[in-house]
Amino acid sequence: MNEKKPQKLKYILTELVSNARLSPGVPFSKHLKNGLVIQVSFGVKQYLLTLRRGMTIPSESEWKTVINNWPYPVSAMYQRHDSLSGGSYLSGFVPDRTGFQYHFELPTEEP
């Protein structure tokens, strides 16, 4: 029987952050089952995090959930933006890990 293990948010974010860090300026995104799209790109010492969902704006609690599951401890504020194609999205900058934060191991998916 070939069952796919459900992905955890922390693992999804770890993959997005790792890929973005390796390819600065290139956005990486993941579509979740609830319709939420998480997009991460890396710039100069910070990540741009964007949350969107079609024509419905993501909630503040969804932002907090994503930040609380970031691969290392952070805090980040968001701004609401209106898209030209309709709908709204949230985005904010998340700082890159500091030397201290490198003491926190990034999670890895267990086999």
Q: Is the pLDDT of residue 46 over 70?
A: yes
Q: Is the pTM of this model over 0.95?
A: no
Extract long-range pairs of 53-61: CB within 8 Å, 24+ residues apart.
53/87, 54/87, 55/86, 55/87, 56/87, 57/87, 57/88, 57/89, 57/90, 58/89, 58/90
CATH code of 9-95, in short, is 3.40.1720
According to the model, what pLDDT value does residue 51 have?
97
Q: What is the mean pLDDT of residues 53-64?
A: 93
Domain map of the chain by residue range? 9-95
Helices (H), 1-111: 9-22, 60-68
Tokens linked to 61? 């609690």
Ranges of beta strands (E only) in 1-111 are 28-31, 37-42, 46-52, 79-82, 88-95
The percent of residues above 70 in pLDDT, for the chain, comes to: 82
State how far the Cα of 86 lies from the Cα of 101, in Å rounded to an integer. Answer: 38
Strand partners, 94: 47
Q: What is the mean pLDDT of residues 17-36?
A: 95
Strand partners, 82: 88
Q: What is the mean pLDDT of residues 9-19?
A: 95
